[in-house]
Structure 1
Amino acid sequence: MAYPVLPDLVISDDDIVVTYIHASGPGGQNVNKVATAVQLRFDATRCAALTSRMRARLRLLAGSRMTREGEVILTAQKFRSQTRNREDAIERLCELLRQAAHVPTRRIATRPSRTQRRRRMDDKARRGQVKQGRGRPTLD
């Protein structure tokens, strides 16, 4: 099965390893018998669909969820069924990959205008006057 992330990016089922583990939280007696939580592993270094730029952004976005070897590990235990937790983990991975594919626009540094600088200094002086007026009154 293939999971479409973007129109030009599709992740195959071979790139994803899903294991089921015991979940904490609600579930009654069922929680002790059935492994409903999902641990999803995605090897970003071996995935041919990702570019090197996407891998670098994915490393930044994933943070501690990515191992040194370049494997993204996501755990999903929000729901009480395996299938819904699996769908949730895959959707979270797809969203992470969408964010990694998006290239942020670079900010162009601009300088404040003369009017803005003057207004800032006037406001600063006014705030200083207000704070000075809060002090203990003098006997003059």
Structure 2
Amino acid sequence: MPLTINDRITIADWELTEQFVRASGPGGQNVNKVSTAVELRFEAARSPNLPDPVKRRLERLAGRRWTKEGALVIQVEETRSQAQNREIARERLVELIRAALVVPKPRRPTRPTKGSVERRIKEKKVRGEVKAGRGKVEE
């Protein structure tokens, strides 16, 4: 079943690969026997459904989860249930892609006001005078 991000973007099944591995941590014998942790792999760089600017923002947001091949890897081992871990991984992928869809507001360079510059210089002079008064006392 394809993942729906918004009304225009849908991720096809061939773009997603799920691999189930054994989870670490508490869980007793269950941890040693059952592969409940999920590793969801999304081939983002090859995806025809994502525009290039979104792919670049997604790569920046993904950080260490982005591979050299251009895949996004999400690992979940929160619950003892394979199905729940699978759902959590898919939800995280959708949230990450939705965050990448938001175009950041461009930064407009600003200058400090004349008053703030004057206050800063005045404070520096006062501080310098305080430090200068800490010298050795002459008798």
Query: What is the alpha-carbon distance in structure 1 between the residues aligned to residue 94 and residue 10 of structure 2?
Result: 9
Query: What is the alpha-carbon distance in structure 2 between the residues aligned to residue 5 and residue 110 of structure 1?
Result: 36
Question: TM-score scaled to structure 2, two decimals?
Answer: 0.88
Give ranges in structure 1 of 5+ residues lacking alignment. Answer: none
Query: What is the alpha-carbon distance in structure 1 between the residues aligned to residue 88 and residue 126 of structure 2?
Result: 53
User: What's the CA shift string for 1:22-75, capped at 9, x where partnerless?
Assistant: 010111111001011000000012222100111111122222211122111111
Query: What is the alpha-carbon distance in structure 2 between the residues aligned to residue 78 and residue 130 of structure 1?
Result: 57
Q: Which stretch of structure 1 is more off in the superposition, 30-39 or 40-49?
A: 40-49
Question: TM-score scaled to structure 1, two decimals?
Answer: 0.87
Greater fraction of residues in strand: 1
Matching of residues 1-140 of structure 1 within 5 Å: 1-132=1-132, 135=134, 138-140=137-139
Q: How far apart are residue 104 of structure 1 and its match?
A: 0.4
Amino acid at match of 1:138: V
Amino acid at match of 1:121: I
Q: How far apart are residue 137 of structure 1 and its match?
A: 5.5
- The percentage of aligned residue pairs carrying the same residue is 44
SS in 1 for 2:40: strand
Query: What is the alpha-carbon distance in structure 1 between the residues aligned to residue 84 and residue 131 of structure 2?
Result: 57
Q: How far apart are residue 128 of structure 1 and its match?
A: 3.5
Q: How many residues align?
A: 139
Amino acid at match of 1:95: E
Give ranges in structure 2 of 5+ residues lacking alignment. Answer: none
Query: What is the alpha-carbon distance in structure 1 between the residues aligned to residue 77 and residue 128 of structure 2?
Result: 53
- Structure 1 runs (4+) greater than 3 angstroms displaced: 126-133
Query: What is the alpha-carbon distance in structure 1 between the residues aligned to residue 111 and residue 4 of structure 2?
Result: 43
SS in 2 for 1:17: strand
